[in-house]
Structure 1
């Protein structure tokens, strides 16, 4: 990130940080204590529901998903395996991310940001701050963005890749080939839909 084309990206992030700071005090907060995680998760749910995902994938739009998120983060934080990061403007969360952990790995599972501040890219700023924070943790060997391949935001910050593969095992050869074809078709359609959605979101006015 600090060499070649990455330097230009860093300058751009710095410029957006300064623009955001013109509106108030900017700070990054990480919480890990169970009670603090519980409160932060409620902030995350409200922030996510305030954006384009409202009614279209936001946890609060599906009670069962919201219950799952609350339960999972509560139980994991009790074991020290969940953190919530927040980029705050005068104390108000403008971008938040949930990290789950297992042994020496972290998973940047979910992110939400204030779309009214899209021009200052609070989500990008949070991801960059997390980059530095995670690199400073000697107990963490790898942080997985959990993003789809060729993601327009995270790819510019985290260019390294890990290989992931699915293994299909047949317990009965009958119909196995057709089941694989259906699954491949489903994945192609899903990937196409995600690319279209990302392009539409990138064209939305600030």
Structure 2
């Protein structure tokens, strides 16, 4: 199926009183009752907002970083001059959105044309949104659509995707069935906490009784300094206040000393304020704070959904470092999560081998960074040579002194 330009409005096909489907212009490909559409700007997603929200709730594993509140705030405040190619897959019969792939165009190895799933500086997962059960049909149509794009596309980069579940399985089935060449930049695991554990038993098993008792002693020592309490952002009207508390607290932490605090970058600060405010109103973020005499000493920001959570940001006051306030607020969060049973898992969003969270949480989820060739000979040759080139680079790299 060749790619063409068209303008479409489905107004005539809808009865009076039924919500009107979004109209769109741009390249499209159809097959098997599905249509793939390319949008040239994320702002065009505004007309798809209802379908987008519904799709985000229908995936096998949620990805809060591609949900509307996070994605729109990130694009508004953190995106540079991107060459956007947002690919949507819709089901024609029910006029439903079943796939969301926010690509940006760039250059890959050997200056090959490359589409990459967009990842901001403050995002920790780029798994596309695909309606559960539709993964095989969506990937099949996506491959056909990308192969007909103009200007042509040689490579597709998937920079931080979940390497498990049906999306991963169907992607690799597509790669095998079409003999596509791939190259893995990275494959690692990061800590995850799942429901069904007893809090005391889990901590005793993971860190030992001695360390568990020590953290309880640290909390008692904090209580000797004044009144210690844990609070959450239950009132949706105070999202901005919680954002202010967190930003000021992070500025007092090691991130502030190192120049990497959100408040030290105006764009990141504005993004975080918008994110916390909007998701607090929608119930999509939990701000947990440890307060001493009414002043925050440690805070944890978690992105929340029914299918899973993401521990997004943590901050603590360096003045109280010897009392381990960051660990204490983390332990309180663990206890709340395991006792509430409101979500099946929480992703740490941590780097591999994180010294703190890897001790507390023993379970892992796999993350991969992969590039896929769409089948053109030169792209296959370049990707096929990447392991050798990487090995040569490591062999002749001068050791650090």
Normalising by the residue count of structure 1, what TM-score does the alignment of the two structures yield?
0.80
Q: 1:165 aligns with which of 368, 388, 393?
A: 368
Change (3 A) 1:76 1:2: same
Q: If each structure's helix is expressed as a fraction of its own residues, which one has the higher value?
A: 1
User: Once the 2 structures are TM-superposed, how far is the Cα of residue 34 of structure 1 from its aligned partner?
Assistant: 2.6
Q: 2:383 aligns with which of 177, 181, 195?
A: 177
8 Å contact from structure 1 (residues 37, 83) kept in 2: no
Change (3 A) 1:175 1:152: same
Q: 2:304 aligns with which of 82, 92, 101?
A: 101
Mapping of residues 148-163 of structure 1, within 5 Å: 148-163=351-366
Indicate the residue corresponding to 1:24 in structure 2: 226
Indicate the residue corresponding to 1:49 in structure 2: 251
| Structure 1, gaps ≥5 residues long | 189-206
User: Once the 2 structures are TM-superposed, how far is the Cα of residue 161 of structure 1 from its aligned partner?
Assistant: 1.2
For these two proteins, the number of residue pairs brought into alignment is 184
Indicate the residue corresponding to 2:281 in structure 1: 78
Normalising by the residue count of structure 2, what TM-score does the alignment of the two structures yield?
0.43
Q: If each structure's strand is expressed as a fraction of its own residues, which one has the higher value?
A: 2
Q: How large is the Cα RMSD of the aligned pairs?
A: 2.4
Choose 1 or 2 for highest CA Rg: 2
Change (3 A) 1:5 1:74: closer
Write the distance in 1 (CA, Å) between the matches of 2:250 and 2:347: 21
Write the distance in 1 (CA, Å) between the matches of 2:386 and 2:303: 31
Q: Secondary structure at the match of 1:149?
A: coil
What are the Cα deviations for residues 2-33 of structure 1, in whole angstroms up to 9, with x where unaligned?
A: 24752222111111111111101111111143
| Structure 2, gaps ≥5 residues long | 1-202, 395-401
Write the distance in 2 (CA, Å) between the matches of 1:108 and 1:153: 13
Indicate the residue corresponding to 2:209 in structure 1: 7
Write the distance in 2 (CA, Å) between the matches of 1:150 and 1:19: 30
Change (3 A) 1:178 1:49: farther
